[in-house]
Amino acid sequence: MKAISILGTSSNAGKSWVATALCALLRRRGLRVAPFKAQNMSNNSFVTFDGGEIGRAQAAQAEACGLAPCVEMNPILLKPSGNQGSQLVVLGEAREHIKAADYYRRVEQLWPIVCEALAFWKTRCDVLVLEGAGSPVELNLMTRDIVNLRPVHHLGGRWLLVADIERGGVFAQIAGTWQLLADADRARGLGVLVNKFRGDLSLFADAGEHLAPRIGVPYLGALPHRGDLQPESEDSLCRDAEERDGDETLAWVRFPHLSNSQDCQPWLHDTGVNVRWVSRPHELQGAKAIVLPGSKNTLADLAWLRATGLDREIAAAAGRSVPVIGICGGYQMLGRRLTDADGAAGDAGDVAGLDLLPVVTSFSKGKEVRHVEASWNEEHWPAYEIHMGRTHATSDCVSLLQVRNGDGWRGEGVRSGAVWGTYLHGLFDSAAVRCELAHVAGFTAHRASRTSWRAHLQSIYDGMANLLEQHLNLEPVWRYVEN
């Protein structure tokens, strides 16, 4: 098995994007390829078919490889939850909340788990595409870093370095990273590439000449920014992958502890809708529908809603029959009461909800993680649940839709007039659901795409692979893979 690690000069340089594109390209060339990230920090997570939890980026990369996501693709996942630190997920199973300092004291205990996951792939693929995290040369962290260079050493693999030209100082990013690498790490380099170029690429044609005397690996080229080729947004603050102007506004509340922000992305496949993320009350003005997405600390984000005054604006909008949809943590907030005596899911407390749905939620240490088949009218599609807490109706309720998971069909979620609540991530993967909400909201120009969201994603992966072939000199990669 060959191993190629995608390293970055910084966070958000585009490592996830390049790793996904390379997975798609290697698959196209007939190779068995799989994705891997030793440790991910993200609240955008995915449920594997056997009920494990991994980062969304690795799930997207698995799809680009033509594989079902599995926990061996992301053995360690950290889900930030505020003052408590992060929830530690090991091989798909949620464990305790852990502070950063405690995590770094335990990396040597976690490293053997990473090694076992790496060994899992040795007979199962021709090429393992590893994704790094942040920068590989953070001098204060390098001895405790199990994501960037250590897996490359363990496998005897090679690396590609991605630099982000949007941040400015791209030559300093590349040359500085090279200077801080040890000689043994430099010897594993296949090349560097520049990402997110906007404008006339010919103006950057001499980049290789400037880099050649300063680094000891080939300059592979520059990738133009393509807003239409963004399958996932690993960082929930990457608005390019989530927002697009349209006619009428579908507002999504950007919680401080936002999770699974990608639930909005199928709307970008349609026309006639302006998906807009909001964090202040006046930004809800004119919105024809409002979505409260997932949260990694529901009680803290509910308190934030009240502190900002967004709670009053949401209640007023619901009073005008503006549709309000809660997903996961947002669903819990729409209820009458939330109780977390021990702080199992974040901040502890016993607080009133927004009282827009006749449900109550209680939290305990148990976590619900499951894949389901969802049904709305005659449409069926895969979705999943990841949540702390159980929600119960306080009066007779109408289920939002039907789901099944090995057993028979059951009602899921609650619908009370124009207010919907559900635990399902992937609710809007269904065109039927999007059309129903557009109808209830009175979107006059909305048109759902005729291509399913999953088929659309496959076309994006193909486009990403094309972009690599068109703009990069990948000969060093092919020599390594085919040797």
CATH number at residue 176: 3.40.50.300
Residue 475 clears pLDDT 80, i.e. is over it: yes
pLDDT of residue 241: 42
Q: 478 and 396 share a domain? A: no
CA distance 34 to 390: 35
Alpha-carbon Rg for the chain in angstroms: 23
Residues 270, 164, single domain; the answer is no
- Same domain, yes or no, for 273 and 420? yes
Flag whether 241 is in a domain.
no
The structure tokens listed for 34 are 């799989």
Q: Is 239 helix (H, G, I), strand (E, B) or coil?
A: helix
235 within a domain of the structure (yes/no)? no
Residue 451 within a domain: no
Which region among 243-247, 331-335, 463-467 has the lowest average model confidence (pLDDT)?
A: 243-247
Question: Contacts by 477-480 with C-beta closer than 8 Å and gap 24+?
Answer: 477/4, 477/22, 477/160, 477/190, 477/191, 480/2, 480/4, 480/158, 480/190
Residue-range definition of the domain harbouring residue 284: 247-444
Interval 119-157: pLDDT, tens:
999 999 999 999 999 999 999 999 999 999 999 999 999
Pairing between strand 337-340 and 359-376?
A: parallel
Q: Cβ contacts of residue 285 below 8 Å, gap of 6+?
A: none
Please check whether residues 401 and 470 belong to one and the same domain. no
pLDDT band of residue 266 (cuts 50, 70, 90) is very high
253 & 380 share domain:
yes
Does residue 100 surpass a pLDDT of 50?
yes
435 is catalytic: no
Residues 103 and 175 grouped into a single domain:
yes
Give, as one character, the DSSP assignment of residue 202: G
Q: Kindly report the CATH number assigned to the domain that includes residue 294.
A: 3.40.50.880
Is 191 found in the same domain as 76? yes
Neighbouring C-beta atoms of residue 469, cutoff 10 Å: 11
Mean pLDDT of the chain: 92
314 domain residue, yes or no: yes
Annotated catalytic residue: which of 70, 264, 328, 435?
328
Residues 59 and 197 both lie in one domain: yes
Both 17 and 103 in a single domain? yes
153 is catalytic: no
User: Do 353 and 471 reside in the same domain of the chain?
Assistant: no
Q: Could you tell me which residues come within 8 angstroms of residue 464 by beta carbon, excluding any fewer than 6 positions away?
A: 17, 20, 21, 24, 25, 64, 229, 231
CA distances to 157, 188, 189, 248 from 153, in Å? 6, 9, 12, 52
173 and 272, same domain (yes or no): no
Nearest Cα to Cα of residue 94 among 84, 86, 105: 86
> What's the structural domain count of the chain?
2
Confidence of residue 5 (pLDDT cuts 50, 70, 90): very high
Among the ranges given (192-201, 220-229, 259-268, 341-350), the one the predictor scored with the smallest mean pLDDT: 341-350
Task: Say which of 70, 425, 435, 446 is annotated catalytic.
Answer: 425
pTM of the full structure = 0.84
